[in-house]
């Protein structure tokens, strides 16, 4: 037998249903209230009308010793009819009054939380954010809408806090290289600092930091908004790791790190090769920045229809607070490390970009402290 639909949206059904018990929705509550009001009106009207009729019949005792004329009978019947009709009208008026009172009470109970919700929505539109409403003691559409409204206000408050923090972080990261540029240029103008190749190299480095910051911000914005153009194809993740290890071999050797690649055969995944390479580059840059001298392990394997790519170093790993914030924009576990060991500028967006690029390709990027020490990043991508 096909189960009858409740008429509610699926999201509301999920919110309202608890342990298989069907809640009383607004439609059911209104139907029961109106049915009860109508039943009460019918019972009251009928009882009053019948009572009046019985009283009229009880008083209707004509004197059989003196027979009534036709006119007297007509008058008696007419008076009885007027009495019964008057009783029916009074019963209808009382029923109408009672129904109005009951309807007013029911509608007030139903509309009061809606008016409160409308007022809160207007205050939210005006810019207020502390407009969360107390949850009504009811499991119906009004309760679900109130809960959704509270979730919305909480989400907006978090987004605004995140946006304010983002603006502050961008301002801070722009202010540092701009301050260096300004002081260097002013020193050159005053003749305190000679205009030589070393000074120009420092200025060039700060300009590169600004350029990379702007480029990374744009890339991150495109990836998170879904506007990034991707060209997915079948890519051998193991081959990408081997190429990356060859490219970074000299840089790794400069800081005492040895790159090892473990694949165990081809690992075909569905991904944009350029964005996959960029993701792994960001993870490897992070590993070289924080890793202790020793091996950094690059692995690729197939598991459960997914391609798993991991980058593990043997450094200090994450502190609990750093692990929870690893993918935040501009977050650095060591705020002093704005450059890698080769002196390349770091925007503080590398891990955030890596996660955004992975998400954009239908994958997942996670970080953890490896049980044997060091930090490990794992990229999961759809297998091909």
Pinpoint the alpha helices (H) of the chain: 10-16, 26-59, 70-125, 141-189, 197-225, 237-254, 273-290, 320-324, 350-360
Q: Which of 295, 264, 266, 259 is nearest to 280 (CA)?
A: 259
List, for residues 154-191, the tens digit of each pLDDT value. Answer: 888 887 877 777 677 777 677 777 888 888 888 888 88
Work out how many domains the chain is built from and give that number.
Answer: 3
In whole angstroms, what is the distance from residue 48 CA to residue 89 CA? Answer: 10
Residue 221, in any domain of the structure? yes
**262 lies in the same domain as 199:** no
Q: What SS3 state is found at 176?
A: helix
Inform me whether the pLDDT recorded for 13 exceeds 60. Answer: no
Show which of 131, 151, 171 is a domain's final residue.
151
Q: CB within 8 A of 62, min separation 6: which ones?
A: 68, 76
**333 lies in the same domain as 372:** yes
Task: Calculate ∠ Cα 371-244-342, nearest 5°.
Answer: 85
**144 lies in the same domain as 37:** yes
Are 127 and 98 in contact by the 8 Å Cβ rule? The answer is: no
List, for residues 77-86, the tens digit of each pLDDT value. Answer: 667 666 767 7
Residue 36, in any domain of the structure? yes
Residue 181, in any domain of the structure? yes
Tokens of 353: 């970009």
In this prediction, residue 95 carries a pLDDT of 74
Residue 311, in any domain of the structure? yes
Place of tokens 């914030």: 325
In whole angstroms, what is the distance from residue 18 CA to residue 328 CA? Answer: 36
pTM: 0.56
Are 381 and 358 in contact by the 8 Å Cβ rule? The answer is: yes
In this prediction, residue 345 carries a pLDDT of 52
Inform me whether the pLDDT recorded for 377 exceeds 60. Answer: yes
Show which of 177, 208, 225 is a domain's final residue.
225
**21 lies in the same domain as 130:** yes
Show which of 225, 250, 265 is a domain's final residue.
225
**200 lies in the same domain as 275:** no
**132 lies in the same domain as 171:** no
**55 lies in the same domain as 100:** yes
Residue 91, in any domain of the structure? yes
**219 lies in the same domain as 141:** no
Residue 2, in any domain of the structure? no
List, for residues 31-52, the tens digit of each pLDDT value. Answer: 777 777 777 777 777 777 777 7
The CATH number for 364's domain is 3.30.565.10
Domain ranges, residue 203:
163-225
**218 lies in the same domain as 356:** no
Residue 1, in any domain of the structure? no
The DSSP secondary-structure symbol of 257 reads: E
């Amino acid at each position: 037998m096909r189960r009858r639909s409740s008429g509610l949206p699926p999201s509301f059904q999920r919110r309202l249903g608890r342990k298989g018990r069907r809640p009383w929705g607004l439609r059911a509550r209104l139907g029961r209230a109106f049915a009860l009001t109508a039943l009460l009106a019918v019972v009251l009207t009928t009882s009053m009308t019948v009572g009046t009729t019985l009283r009229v019949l009880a008083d209707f005792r004509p004197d059989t010793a003196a027979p009534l004329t036709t006119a007297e009978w007509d008058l008696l019947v007419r008076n009885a009819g007027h009495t019964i009709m008057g009783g029916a009208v009074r019963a209808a008026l009382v029923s109408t009054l009672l129904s109005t009172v009951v309807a007013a009470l029911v509608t007030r109970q139903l509309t009061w939380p809606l008016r409160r919700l409308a007022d809160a929505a207007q205050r939210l539109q005006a810019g207020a954010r502390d407009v969360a409403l107390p949850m009504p003691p009811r499991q119906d559409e009004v309760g679900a809408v109130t809960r959704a409204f509270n979730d919305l206000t909480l989400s907006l408050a978090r987004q605004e806090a995140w946006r304010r923090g983002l603006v502050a972080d961008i301002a801070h990261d722009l202010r540092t290289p701009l301050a260096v540029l300004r002081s260097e240029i002013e020193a050159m103008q005053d003749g305190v600092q000679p205009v030589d190749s070393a000074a120009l190299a420092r200025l060039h480095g700060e300009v590169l930091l600004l350029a990379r910051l702007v480029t990374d911000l744009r890339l991150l914005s495109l990836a998170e908004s879904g506007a990034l153009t991707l060209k997915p194809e079948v890519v051998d993740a193991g081959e990408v790791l081997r190429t990356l290890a060859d490219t970074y071999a000299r840089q790794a050797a400069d800081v005492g790190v040895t790159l090892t690649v473990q694949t165990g055969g081809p690992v075909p995944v569905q991904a944009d090769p350029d964005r996959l390479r960029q993701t792994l580059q960001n993870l490897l840059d992070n590993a070289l920045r924080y890793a202790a001298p020793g091996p950094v392990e690059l692995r690729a394997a197939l598991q459960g229809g997914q391609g798993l790519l991991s980058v593990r170093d043997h450094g200090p790993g994450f502190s609990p607070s750093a692990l929870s914030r690893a993918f935040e924009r501009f977050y650095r576990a060591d705020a002093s490390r704005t450059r890698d060991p080769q002196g390349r500028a770091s925007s503080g967006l590398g891990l955030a970009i890596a996660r955004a690029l992975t998400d954009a390709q239908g994958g997942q990027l996670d970080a953890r402290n490896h049980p044997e020490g060091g930090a490990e990043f794992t990229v999961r991508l759809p297998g091909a």
